[in-house]
């Protein structure tokens, strides 16, 4: 029996979290589209993922939604507890409510964030032509905000794409991010105080223990246009993408990479959140009373792995998910050379760990 040493326990922990190599097979010779065994990200062509979720808010109708497609009234000064109900039966249906929940938590004001935040489900709604909207508006004594988060909290590396636009008053932050803790978080953020061609790509923490800004944490990146009419402004529809891989984060706009980071890459299983908020801090700015800002979303696409996934045989079919705006159906990948997916080759890791343990315990 091996000794129960801290070094050995750490090595056994490495076995549980280290990446698994998954070999991609040749293309299906018939040219058909069989069931996808795994999916390829558009950034790192070698990164493969075993899960796929696609949420399409386009082309919904009153029957599907179960309510009118129109914005609900703005939160007023008396609605300061976040107890408003959902705005549509759609948000309780399995198609949405089985995967996401709208938050109603409150955050008190502080020295660094002088405006209290109150999340309300009334700020999450469907509008016409159909898209999902998250809203924030400023009241005299608080900021009414919105936040949806995935019920799944075990995403462990992913490629996340969102087609979105942001409009409204200065002093808001539209955030799309993975989250485990304030120090294990990877963000796509749009600040309405910034110029319309600026987005923020951030891995947390953004400040050190003394409150000093960590320069490599956040990058001001450019919102690039595309051939589909996006003009390089976050007020127009753009496709935002975050690739979270082992030791590497990469951000894209309209398929163009604009930021890479090795700093602060999350190492813990996380959930996925979308948030429209402000707290009067130096980061968001302080929205003028009466101000309103919105984050509109046409679709959300995730390919992902989970820390709870078990080691599998090499997947039989590698699929790609490109051109979502026109055709979201996964297609067989044009090449099958992908090799890396976060799950681990258990046998090789056990052998490696055994020899490392032998060396350390000798």
- Per-residue model confidence as pLDDT tens digits over 283-318: 999 999 999 999 999 999 999 999 988 655 578 788
Residue 2 pLDDT greater than 80, yes or no: no
Q: What is the mean pLDDT of the chain?
A: 82
Q: Tokens standing for 138?
A: 């400023």
Q: Tokens standing for 209?
A: 């223990």
Residue 42 pLDDT greater than 50, yes or no: yes
Residue 164 pLDDT greater than 70, yes or no: yes
Residue 190 pLDDT greater than 50, yes or no: yes
- Please give the pLDDT value at position 45: 66
Residue 354 pLDDT greater than 80, yes or no: no
Residues 55-72 have a mean pLDDT of 84
Residue 23 pLDDT greater than 50, yes or no: no
Residue 41 pLDDT greater than 60, yes or no: yes
Strand, coil or helix: 359: helix
Range with the lowest mean pLDDT among 22-36, 52-66, 180-194? 22-36
Q: Say how far apart CA 65 and CA 307 lie, in whole Å.
A: 34
- Please give the pLDDT value at position 40: 85
Handedness of CA 334, 223, 183, 142 (dihedral sign): negative
Work out the pLDDT band at 205, boundaries 50, 70, 90: very high
- Please give the pLDDT value at position 332: 82
Q: Please write the tens of the pLDDT for every residue from 82-108.
A: 999 999 999 998 889 999 999 999 999
Residue 362 pLDDT greater than 70, yes or no: no
Percent of the chain, pLDDT > 90? 60
- Please give the pLDDT value at position 313: 58
pTM of the model: 0.83
Residue 27 pLDDT greater than 70, yes or no: no
Percent of the chain, pLDDT > 70? 78
- Please give the pLDDT value at position 317: 84
- Please give the pLDDT value at position 44: 66
Neighbours of 87 (CB within 10 A): 22
Range with the lowest mean pLDDT among 5-14, 51-60, 257-266, 279-288? 5-14
Q: Please write the tens of the pLDDT for every residue from 117-156.
A: 999 999 999 998 899 999 999 999 999 999 999 999 999 9
| Sheet containing 48-49: order of strands | 48-49, 38-40, 318-320, 331-332
Q: How far from 18 is each of 12, 38, 230, 348, CA to CA, in Å? A: 10, 19, 39, 11
Q: Angle of helix 346-361 relative to helix 6-17, nearest 10 degrees?
A: 160
Q: Tokens standing for 294?
A: 């919105």
**Averaging pLDDT over each range in 30-44, 58-72, 285-299, 321-335, which range is the top one?**
285-299
Q: Please write the tens of the pLDDT for every residue from 215-267.
A: 999 999 999 987 666 689 999 999 999 999 999 999 999 989 999 999 999 99
Residues 54-74 have a mean pLDDT of 86
């Amino acid at each position: 029996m091996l000794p129960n040493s801290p070094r050995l326990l750490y090595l056994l922990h490495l076995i549980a979290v280290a990446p698994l190599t998954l070999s991609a097979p040749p293309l299906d010779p018939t040219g058909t589209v069989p069931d996808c065994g795994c999916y390829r990200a558009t950034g790192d062509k070698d990164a493969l993922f075993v899960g796929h979720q696609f949420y399409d808010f386009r082309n919904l109708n009153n029957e599907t939604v179960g309510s009118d497609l129109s914005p609900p009234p703005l939160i007023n000064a008396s609605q300061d507890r976040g107890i408003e109900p959902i705005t549509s039966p759609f948000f309780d249906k399995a198609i949405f409510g089985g995967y996401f929940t709208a938050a109603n938590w409150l955050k008190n004001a502080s020295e660094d964030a002088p405006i209290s935040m109150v999340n309300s489900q009334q700020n999450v709604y469907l509008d016409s032509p159909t898209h999902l909207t998250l809203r924030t508006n400023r009241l005299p004594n608080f900021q009414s905000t919105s936040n949806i988060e995935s019920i799944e909290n075990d995403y462990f590396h992913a490629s996340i794409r969102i087609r979105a636009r942001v409009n409204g008053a200065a002093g808001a932050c539209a955030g799309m991010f993975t989250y485990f803790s304030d120090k294990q978080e990877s963000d796509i953020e749009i600040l309405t105080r910034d110029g319309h061609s600026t987005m923020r790509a951030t891995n947390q923490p953004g400040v050190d223990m003394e409150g000093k800004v960590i320069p490599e944490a956040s990058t001001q990146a450019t919102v690039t246009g595309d051939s589909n009419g996006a003009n390089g402004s976050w007020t127009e529809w753009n496709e935002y993408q975050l690739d979270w891989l082992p030791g590497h984060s990469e951000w894209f706009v309209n398929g163009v990479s604009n930021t890479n980071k090795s700093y602060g890459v999350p190492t813990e299983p996380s959930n996925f959140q979308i948030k429209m908020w402000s707290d009067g801090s130096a980061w968001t700015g302080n929205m003028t009373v009466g101000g309103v800002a919105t984050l509109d979303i046409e679709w959300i696409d995730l390919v992902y792995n989970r820390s709870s996934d078990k080691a599998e045989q090499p997947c039989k079919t590698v699929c790609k998910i490109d051109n979502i705006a026109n055709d979201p159906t996964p297609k067989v990948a044009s090449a099958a050379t992908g090799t890396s997916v976060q799950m681990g080759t258990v046998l090789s890791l056990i052998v490696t760990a055994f020899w490392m343990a032998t060396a350390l315990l000798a």
